[in-house]
Structure 1
């Protein structure tokens, strides 16, 4: 068969290599579906008894991911295969504890600064400590938040990769 629209009468996929190399070869025939058929169903792309369906009437089957059983905190702690992660379950608790400890530390820092401000010789240092307390609180909270978000992003990436792996 000749292709009059192409130079030399060659098919479009047989053209000379472009700037990125030759085009990939065309796959001959029908590509089998990589997903196995459900029990009691014909494989995708085939009708009953393994015969191909009429053109344009290909079956459509939704993919459903395998069901994962979610373990609790103690079940995840005892998982020796590390299939269930503990850190995502504990990250909220760690953040709340860090928030409380930072606040307690800064309240003590503020009280110490106010106490030092009552001294005759050190009153300027006490005022500096009292003024710096909210800045220190904000800075520490920001650092903890950045660290916690980095951990959460890492674990969410792992979960998304796990979903992709389950689809294949």
Structure 2
């Protein structure tokens, strides 16, 4: 190796090396990911803390979990009746009912749309108010689409709120 003052090599900042050579690149700590390391398998082929990861985790070296390692939360998913009877509110009912609310809203808006179209057709048969019937026929699909959009936005906001609460619970359980 040549001397760092050699003009053929660019100067390296001090402090990036091992104990013996201050200009050597930093050595990775076994079993830990360096910062900016992409997610995926660890150095031994398995995820950190998994049974395949060798001496840092699993049956070979004993389970070792650091604060930065991910561990799945063990929770049982109760049905609708089980969630209703949960007095601790650990299992939420609303996320289970959002799909049902959306289907019911789709049916009610569709029925309203059909009723409005029928009303518009009926009003167009009148001699003096046929123009109002045409306005109702033109406005009905637009109003129905607006109602569908508003219901969808509201239910998505509800789902996002509950997913946020679920993810916060996972974070809390990890700590």
Common fold: TM-score over 0.5: yes
Provide the residue aligned with 1:67 in structure 2: 74
User: Cα distance, 1:67 vs. partner?
Assistant: 1.3
The structure 2 residue matched to 1:119, chosen from 115, 120, 126, is 126
Number of matched residues?
A: 113
Provide the residue aligned with 1:159 in structure 2: 166
Q: Following superposition, which runs of at least 4 residues in structure 1 exceed 4 angstroms of deviation?
A: none
Provide the residue aligned with 1:130 in structure 2: 137
Q: How high is the TM-score relative to the length of structure 1?
A: 0.63
The structure 2 residue matched to 1:88, chosen from 51, 71, 95, is 95
User: Cα distance, 1:69 vs. partner?
Assistant: 1.2
Structure 1 residue runs without a partner (length 5+): 1-11, 13-57
Over aligned residues, Cα RMSD in angstroms?
1.8
Q: What are the within-5 Å matches in structure 2 for residues 39-58 of structure 1?
A: none
Q: Choose between structure 1 and 2 for higher RCO, CA contacts under 8 A separated by at least 6 residues.
A: 1
Q: How high is the TM-score relative to the length of structure 2?
A: 0.61
User: Cα distance, 1:70 vs. partner?
Assistant: 1.1
Q: What are the within-5 Å matches in structure 2 for residues 134-145 of structure 1?
A: 134-145=141-152
Structure 2 residue runs without a partner (length 5+): 1-14, 16-54, 58-63
Q: How far, CA to CA, are the matches of 2:129 and 2:169 in structure 1?
A: 59
